[in-house]
Amino acid sequence: MSLLKLDNLETYLGQYHILQGVSMSVEEGSITVLFGRNGAGKTTTLRSIMGFNPSTTGSVHYNNQRISGISTHLISRKGIGYVPENQGIFSALTVEETLNLAKAKSKGETEEKMEWMLELFPDLKKFWRKKSGLLSGGQKQMLAIARAYINGDGLLLIDEPSKGLSPIMVEKLMESILKMKEKTTILLVEQNFLMASEIGDYFYIMDDGKIVHKGLMQDLKEDKATCQKYLGIA
Amino acid sequence: MEVFINLLVNGVSTGLLIFLLAAGLTLIFGLMSVLNFAHGGLFVWGAFSGAWIYKETNSFLLAIVGAIVIGMALGWVLERFLIRPVYGNHVRQLLITLGGMLVLSESIKIFWGPNPIRVNLPGWLEGSYQFDGIIIIKYRVFVIVVGLLLYLALWLLLSRTQIGLMIRAGVMDKEMVQALGINVKGLFTFVFLLGAALAALGGALLAPYSGVVFAEMGMQYAILAFIVVIIGGMGSLQGSALASLIVGVAGAFMAYYIPDLSLALNMLLLAIVLLVKPTGLMGEKGSAV
């Protein structure tokens, strides 16, 4: 069953026509990966879902409810957690304060979710009283993901979590995201094909604001020509 | 020594009055990125309405509460109809809030006429404390106590409450706060009303302090508050408190020892701070407390 459905989204940023009829769906309980080159429109897709860059035409449905056209905070309250590309860390807040803030408008068992996140990312427990701005890049990413998971209730949108992280940290993070699939649905934007293809169930490839390929991740791994053409993977 | 203590008390009390105006301004700028020149208009309305209510009722407490309520009501109108349409556009904010400031100042004359009005101290705050040649005016002590209590209350609000946490996070990243399900527009309105209440309270407390109020004083104090906010670091409450005290105390000493330089002092302080630390004394992106 599709938990999230985008239908023919057209989004402009100023005079630029970024999304040009994007349609896609995210199956419940899956990890769906959105690939594409820089500037293809991946981040704008997530931002359009969250209502930061509302689409001019088309629609977004979450849990069979239309969420396009409503305010970001109301979209979030439907249960969508969001991890932006720049992590959106509140640098002067401690880890504790950040995660408490995530609970403020969250639905569901927030304490349970908090405990599980601290189990999954023990560094957050270790640096509980530390200012978030002083954490390492990997720890900040963990915090951003934990915050989105605690705040959300069913779907996580994660924008390029591997960006700027060491290979070891990327591997660790991806293992954690795979574990999170047991409890939530994930739409992941990534450029790191090798890593994302290991954890994804479905994929979409964007190019110039359009979806140019979609299917099962397993099939993409075997489709060398498509990988070469759109992702530059030999 | 007597002169030193007297000047210090005068400077601290003046500084804390400026702080009441600057605190709202710094939070509004930090969270909403709004340059609100109309803030001084709320201050002058607080001064006049407080003075008028006190004259009519002879109750200083009622005067303070009334001034705060009127300030908040005007603040709500300003935020809802003038500022909300120009979020994110500093040039328009500057023009429209400057216009708002002029309207607020001029509208004072409709209600209270064009002449300055005299304001008396409440009976229980008249007089002074004297110790070995040191004379400390009671009302200044009262202003210091109120100012410190308000600073403490604001600090507790920002650092110990859920809404304070939201405000501090909003100062750092408004989008991310929205993505956590928090209604940032509602938060904006709350902060704006809080700022308006503080400005009106500052005005109401200033009226008996200076003994006379006039419609043009809003701009004078708004500029002072802007200087304090920039010196302290935009968005930083602690920075504003520190800068208010520095400006107040330095102003008192300068007016006594080198009166010719007292007018230039604030600009001099501003220039020095901007040269040494362009983000202000405690200005660091994202630290509201």
Structural domains of chain A ordered from first start: 2-231 (3.40.50.300)
Interface contact B181-A93, CB threshold 8 A: no
pLDDT of B171 reads: 81
Residue pair B45/B108 in contact (Cβ under 8 Å)? The answer is yes
Write the ipTM: 0.94
Helix, strand, coil percentages in chain A from 3-state DSSP, rounded to 5: 40, 30, 30
Give the Cα separation of B95 and B257 in Å (integer).
38
Residue type for B7, please?
L
Q: State pLDDT tens for residues A26-64.
A: 999 999 999 999 999 999 999 999 999 999 999 999 999
Side-chain-side CA neighbours of B28 within 13 Å: the count stands at 32
Rounded to a whole number of angstroms, the distance from the CA of A153 to the nearest CA of chain B is 11
Interface contact B288-A92, CB threshold 8 A: yes
- Torsion angle, alpha carbons of A74, A76, A79, A84, to 10: 170
Rounded to a whole number of angstroms, the distance from the CA of B169 to the nearest CA of chain A is 6
Interface contact A93-B168, CB threshold 8 A: yes
Measured between CA atoms, the residue of chain B closest to residue A49 is: B179
Q: What residues of A are in contact with residue B184 (Cβ under 8 Å)?
A: 73
Residue pair A139/A124 in contact (Cβ under 8 Å)? The answer is yes
Interface contact B172-A91, CB threshold 8 A: yes
**B165: nearest CB among A71, A76, A100:** A100
3-state SS track over A194-209: HHHHHHCCEEEEEECC
Alpha helices in chain A (DSSP H): 42-50, 72-77, 95-103, 110-120, 122-126, 137-151, 167-180, 193-199, 217-222, 224-226
DSSP codes joined into one string, B134-187: EEEEHHHHHHHHHHHHHHHHHHHHHHHSHHHHHHHHHHH-HHHHHHTT--HHHH
Interface contact A92-B180, CB threshold 8 A: no
Interface contact A93-B165, CB threshold 8 A: yes
State mean pLDDT over A142-169: 94
Q: State pLDDT tens for residues A86-127.
A: 999 999 999 999 999 999 887 778 899 999 999 999 999 999
Interface contact A90-B172, CB threshold 8 A: yes
Q: State pLDDT tens for residues A117-148.
A: 999 999 999 999 999 999 999 999 999 999 99
Give the Cα separation of A1 and B201 in Å (integer).
58
B88 touches chain A (CB under 8 A): no
Residue pair A150/A106 in contact (Cβ under 8 Å)? The answer is yes
Among B87, B73, B78, B108, residue whose Cα is nearest residue B207 = B108
Residue pair A105/B180 in contact (Cβ under 8 Å)? The answer is yes
Measured between CA atoms, the residue of chain A closest to residue B172 is: A90
Give the Cα separation of B46 and A124 in Å (integer).
47
Residue B221, CA distances (Å) to B25, B155, B215, B288 in order: 12, 23, 11, 22
Joined tokens for residue A185:
């649905």
Low-confidence ranges of chain B (pLDDT < 50): 286
Among A217, A134, A210, residue whose Cα is nearest residue A181 = A217
The single residue listed with the structure tokens 């403490």 is: B152
Give the Cα separation of B252 and B247 in Å (integer).
9
Residue pair A134/A95 in contact (Cβ under 8 Å)? The answer is no
Interface contact B169-A106, CB threshold 8 A: no
Rounded to a whole number of angstroms, the distance from the CA of A125 to the nearest CA of chain B is 20
Residue type for A67, please?
I
B130 touches chain A (CB under 8 A): no
pTM for this model (two decimals): 0.86
**A92: nearest CB among B162, B178, B287:** B287
Interface contact A100-B286, CB threshold 8 A: no
Residue B139, CA distances (Å) to B14, B47, B51, B145, B265 in order: 11, 16, 15, 10, 26
Structural domains of chain B ordered from first start: 2-276 (1.10.3470)
